[in-house]
Amino acid sequence: MSLSPQPDDDQCQPELPAATVAARFTALAASVEESRPDATLMARMRTTQTWCERAAAAERSATRRQLFTNVQQSLATWQQVWPRLGAQREFRLAVAREARQWAKRLSA
């Protein structure tokens, strides 16, 4: 049994590697692509944002902290506009694509 945080865990750890946050973005993209219910997606976005905040606070590199700030801004935007645009296929595809791009950048 692994004690490390998993992508679907809702508990935030004080220090999270960027790879863990990247896994959360990969899971978010998959949820969007699988057309999960809006409530599920919004909850996943909020949880991912919390993980990003914690990871940023633990990050020593200013460049990486800025990356986490940018990621958080994307998540905040998605959460704000999802109620209006979440039903649109093009918007959902754009969110999934951007989430995968963030996952790739965080994994680098």
pLDDT, tens only, 8-31:
444 444 445 788 899 999 999 999
Residue 18's SS3 state is helix
Would the pLDDT of 103 be above 70?
A: yes
Kindly report the pTM of this predicted structure.
Answer: 0.80
- Identity of the residue numbered 39: A
- The rounded distance, in Å, linking the Cα atoms of 7 and 48 is 9
Find all residues with CB under 8 Å of 64, minimum gap 6, and list them: 18, 56
Give the side-chain half-sphere CA count within 13 A for 88. 10
Locus of tokens 């918007």: 91
Per residue in 43-60, pLDDT (tens digit) is 999 999 998 988 888 888
pLDDT at residue number 46: 94
Closest CA to 86 of 74, 97, 78, 98: 78
